[in-house]
């Protein structure tokens, strides 16, 4: 196998890794916000299940969660699994897992906003939703960005866990090529690509952090 | 007509009574100063009177409208929606200003009129610029609160409150961060607000400031009003012994 063919296969897998990465962020970033609202709800019927979900999700391996999402429907409900469900299952697993982490980060960010901000908004007659949208959220985003950067970089590497569901992302591709060609080279390339991907993600996040530097 | 009337207000924190039946009234364009030692309940009174917090019992009337009435030993407030409408007549300048750090000075002043009152953009901007000229910060319009000094922040907080056209405005310890010159300016600013028909309520520790600024003074201790009357009279010739102890003690 030529080096070129090897790289071509890896990059095909890399595209799927990027797909998992983007879809996970698109869904889990807003979902995390909803979860964080739920976790601080005054209604125990909402709060307790959500707190349990966050606790279990953070306390069990992501790899195991991916397997539960994929195999669960068969073992629990006897549903037939189609191979096309693999990718969807991976996305669901990642979104559920990352939303829990993001929710906790958002909650921390919310708590960091001084009570005086809410009071000032109340005194000026802002409604609750106006207060959240105009006053609380923009400040919260600034506070949580550094923590989000951490999670985003972790996600770059976590996409490799989708290989447990035989989703043909980059790590699966690398392993396939490596065992067929008896060479470690694909792992080296994959490692390099993961690093470049993380590096770029970090730069993008730092750019967002910088763009909010105009106040403190 | 009195802009604000309060009768028999009570409030406790963790079982400790902080306000024990406070009654007061503020006339249109009048300045009332609440003085007294730390822990007297001044700030709590201000927070209840400005509808930031709910009292346990008592009556509150704002511009003739009943905001809270005493029913069966408990204060019954208007429903949330009407309460937040009633709040529009009230401006608050917080001790720590509580400006919105992510908004520019202009945005701080203009945002509530646009968001809450749905004012026309151009009119709101013109009014905000006028207010900034009045407080002498027109050249800081595009600055952010973190770039301002304490006194400047406070003036922005005043402009922000005034942009909502309040009938009454509350100040919590307004002179705490000001030097004597700025304190004198603040006194002048409050007098001019009153001259324009806005009632002012000030919580302060500073006797000379209260004496020169307020029309009327209330002296509080342990959640009770000990003495009230014309500002100069109460501060220069207090009748109650507790008031005398406090005022003369603070001058020595």
Is 70 exceeded by the pLDDT of residue B226? yes
- The C-alpha atoms of residue B67 and residue B75 are separated, in whole angstroms, by 10
Structure-block tokens of residue B231: 């500002």
Interface contact A214, partner B, CB < 8 A: yes
- Among B77, B100, B118, B156, the strongest candidate for a mutation testing the A interface, having the largest count of A CBs within 10 A, is B100
Closest CA to A107 of A43, A51, A25: A51
**Residue A124 to residue B112, Cβ atoms within 8 A:** yes
Q: What are the beta bridge partners of residue B17?
A: B12
Chain B CB contacts of A145 below 8 Å: none
**Residue A125 to residue B164, Cβ atoms within 8 A:** yes
Q: A64-68, A74-78, A84-88: which has the highest mean pLDDT?
A: A64-68
Interface contact B77, partner A, CB < 8 A: no
Domain ranges of chain A: 3-211
- Beta strands B16-27 and B31-35 are unpaired
- The C-alpha atoms of residue B154 and residue A24 are separated, in whole angstroms, by 45
Q: How many CA atoms within 13 Å lie on the side-chain side of A21?
A: 22
Interface contact B82, partner A, CB < 8 A: no
Q: Where are the alpha helices (DSSP H) in A40-168?
A: 44-59, 62-77, 85-111, 115-123, 128-130, 137-158
User: What's the mean per-residue pLDDT of chain A?
Assistant: 92
Structure-block tokens of residue A120: 């000032």
CB B136 within 8 A of CB B185: no
- The C-alpha atoms of residue B8 and residue B75 are separated, in whole angstroms, by 10
Is 70 exceeded by the pLDDT of residue B217? yes
Q: Out of 3.10.20.30, 3.30.70.3400, 1.10.3720.10, 3.30.1600.10, which CATH number does the structure's domain A3-211 have?
A: 1.10.3720.10
**Residue B94 to residue A142, Cβ atoms within 8 A:** no
Nearest residue of chain A to residue B88 (CA atoms): A125
Name, in order, each residue with C-beta under 8 angstroms of A33's C-beta and a sequence gap of 6 or more.
Answer: A102, A103, A106
Which residues 111-140 of A have a C-beta within 8 angstroms of B? 114, 116-117, 119-120, 122-127, 130, 134-135, 138-139
Count of pairs with CB atoms under 8 A, one residue in A, one in B: 59
- Per-residue pLDDT band for B30 (boundaries 50, 70, 90) equals very high
- The C-alpha atoms of residue B171 and residue B184 are separated, in whole angstroms, by 15
* Residue whose token pair is 């709040």: B87
Q: Is the dihedral of CA A40, A42, A43, A48 positive or negative?
A: positive
Nearest residue of chain A to residue B164 (CA atoms): A124
- The C-alpha atoms of residue B10 and residue A11 are separated, in whole angstroms, by 71
Q: What is the pLDDT of residue B250?
A: 57
Domain ranges of chain B: 2-251
Whether the complex's predicted ipTM surpasses the cut of 0.95: no
- Among B49, B62, B97, B101, the strongest candidate for a mutation testing the A interface, having the largest count of A CBs within 10 A, is B101
Q: What is the pLDDT of residue B251?
A: 54
Give the residue-averaged pLDDT of A118-147. 93
What's the pTM value of the predicted model, to 2 decimals?
A: 0.87
Closest CA to B33 of B249, B186, B164, B245: B186
Class of domain B2-251: alpha beta
Whole-number Cα distances in Å, B100 to A118, A176, B191: 10, 55, 27
Partner-chain residue, chosen from B87, B111, B144, that has the shortest CB–CB distance to A134:
B111
User: What's the mean per-residue pLDDT of chain B?
Assistant: 90
pLDDT digits (tens, 9 = 90+) for B230-246: 888 888 888 888 888 88
Interface contact B169, partner A, CB < 8 A: no
Is 60 exceeded by the pLDDT of residue A215? yes
Structure-block tokens of residue A126: 């802002």
Closest CA to B7 of B68, B43, B60, B78: B60
Q: What is the pLDDT of residue A178?
A: 87
Please give the residue that has the higher pLDDT: either B15 or A101: A101
**Residue B98 to residue A139, Cβ atoms within 8 A:** no
- Per-residue pLDDT band for B59 (boundaries 50, 70, 90) equals very high
């Amino acid at each position: 196998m030529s080096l070129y063919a090897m790289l071509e296969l890896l990059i095909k897998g890399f595209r799927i890794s990027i797909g998992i990465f983007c879809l996970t962020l698109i869904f889990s970033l807003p979902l995390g916000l909803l979860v964080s609202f739920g976790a601080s709800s005054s209604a125990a019927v909402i709060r307790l299940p959500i707190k349990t979900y966050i606790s279990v999700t953070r306390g069990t391996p992501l790899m195991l969660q991916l397997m539960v999402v994929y195999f669960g429907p068969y073992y629990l409900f006897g549903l037939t699994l189609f191979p096309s469900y693999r990718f969807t299952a991976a996305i669901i697993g990642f979104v559920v897992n990352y939303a829990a982490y993001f929710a906790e980060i958002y909650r921390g960010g919310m708590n960091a906003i001084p009570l005086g901000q809410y009071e000032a908004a109340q005194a000026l007659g802002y409604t609750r939703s106006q207060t959240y949208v105009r006053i609380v959220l923009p400040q919260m985003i600034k506070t949580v960005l550094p923590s989000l950067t951490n999670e985003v970089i972790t996600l770059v590497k976590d996409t490799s866990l989708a290989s447990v569901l035989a989703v043909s992302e980059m790590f699966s591709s690398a392993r396939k090529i490596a065992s067929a060609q008896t060479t470690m080279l694909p792992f080296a390339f994959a490692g390099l690509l993961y690093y470049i991907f993380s590096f770029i993600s970090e730069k993008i996040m730092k750019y967002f952090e910088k763009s909010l530097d105009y106040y403190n | 007509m009195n802009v604000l009337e309060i009768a028999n207000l009570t409030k406790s924190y963790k079982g400790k009574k902080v306000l024990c039946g406070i009654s007061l009234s503020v006339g249109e364009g009048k300045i009332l100063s609440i003085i007294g030692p730390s822990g007297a309940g001044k700030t709590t009174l201000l927070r209840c009177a400005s509808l930031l917090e709910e009292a346990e019992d008592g009556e509150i009337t704002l511009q003739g409208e009943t905001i809270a009435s005493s029913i069966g030993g408990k204060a019954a407030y208007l429903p949330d929606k009407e309460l937040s409408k009633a709040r529009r007549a009230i401006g608050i300048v917080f001790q720590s200003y509580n400006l919105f750090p992510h908004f520019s000075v202009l945005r701080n002043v203009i945002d509530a009129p646009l968001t809450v009152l749905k004012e026309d953009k151009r009119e709101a901007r013109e009014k905000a610029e006028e207010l900034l000229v009045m407080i002498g910060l027109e050249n800081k319009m595009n600055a952010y609160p973190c770039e301002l000094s304490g006194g400047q922040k406070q003036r922005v907080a005043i402009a922000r409150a005034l942009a909502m056209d309040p009938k009454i405005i509350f100040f919590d310890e307004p002179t705490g961060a000001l030097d004597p010159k700025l304190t004198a300016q603040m006194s002048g600013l409050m007098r001019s607000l009153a001259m324009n028909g806005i009632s002012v309520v000030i919580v302060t520790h500073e006797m000379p400031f209260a004496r020169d600024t307020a029309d009327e003074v209330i002296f509080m201790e342990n959640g009770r009003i000990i003495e009230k009357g014309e500002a100069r009279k109460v501060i220069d010739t207090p009748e109650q012994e507790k008031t005398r102890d406090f005022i003369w003690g603070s001058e020595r």
